[in-house]
């Protein structure tokens, strides 16, 4: 398993490549801004970092799942500092239990990001996809909840509590 320092260096490289795309202004006065945004290439592709970004994200999630509370808190802090990486890097959707587990681990590591509401929408969509794929998401939600932060960052509950509520 790659150490936290190696992961941090690789995350920082991808973050630097994605930052200009993440910070590109959007002209909200343009009536077609939403459609233009949807038609833009994926940020990882535009920056030419898709393979590297997804490899480092998988390494980060493996360390997150296998690490102790201190390491997980450190990795959550890493994603809080590298906001372009957090914004632009995603794993491909894999309609398998392990694919959903990885996406839940990613949600846990992001730890509500900048806005809990966005993460709640992500979780809702993730759960809907899992149900359509016939995956019993409850055990996966509970497993990842146990690894998640107890901090109520924005007054909507901790990510651990949010995942446990979703598990039913």
- The string of pLDDT tens digits covering residues 40-82 is 899 999 999 999 999 999 999 999 999 999 999 999 999 999 9
* Cβ contact 160:111 at 8 Å: no
- What backbone phi and psi angles, to 5 degrees, belong to 91? -90, 155
Give the residue carrying structure tokens 């949010």: 162
For residue range 113-158, what is the model confidence (pLDDT) as tens digits?
888 898 899 999 999 999 999 999 999 999 999 999 998 888 888 9
- pTM over 0.85? The answer is yes
Q: 148, 158 in Cβ contact below 8 A? A: yes
Residue 102, phi then psi, degrees to nearest 5: -60, -40
Contact 56, 62 (CB under 8 A): no
> From CA 154, how far away is CA 107, in angstroms rounded?
16
Return the structure tokens found at 155.
């007054």
Q: Would you give the end-to-end CA distance of the chain in angstroms?
A: 33
């Amino acid at each position: 398993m790659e150490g936290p320092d190696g992961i941090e260096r690789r995350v920082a490289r991808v973050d630097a490549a994605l930052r200009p795309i993440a910070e590109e202004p959007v002209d909200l006065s343009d009536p077609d801004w939403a459609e233009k945004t949807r038609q833009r290439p994926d940020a990882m592709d535009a920056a030419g970092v898709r393979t590297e970004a997804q490899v480092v994200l998988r390494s980060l999630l493996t360390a997150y799942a296998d690490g102790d509370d201190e390491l997980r808190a450190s990795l959550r802090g890493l994603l809080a500092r590298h906001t372009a990486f957090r914004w632009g890097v995603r794993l491909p959707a894999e309609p398998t239990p392990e694919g959903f587990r990885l996406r839940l681990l990613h949600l846990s590591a992001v730890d509500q990001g900048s806005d809990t509401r966005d993460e709640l929408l992500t979780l809702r969509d993730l759960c809907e996809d899992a149900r359509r794929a016939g995956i019993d998401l409850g055990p996966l939600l509970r497993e990842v909840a146990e690894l998640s932060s107890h901090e109520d960052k924005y007054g909507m509950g901790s990510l651990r509590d949010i995942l446990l509520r979703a598990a039913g």
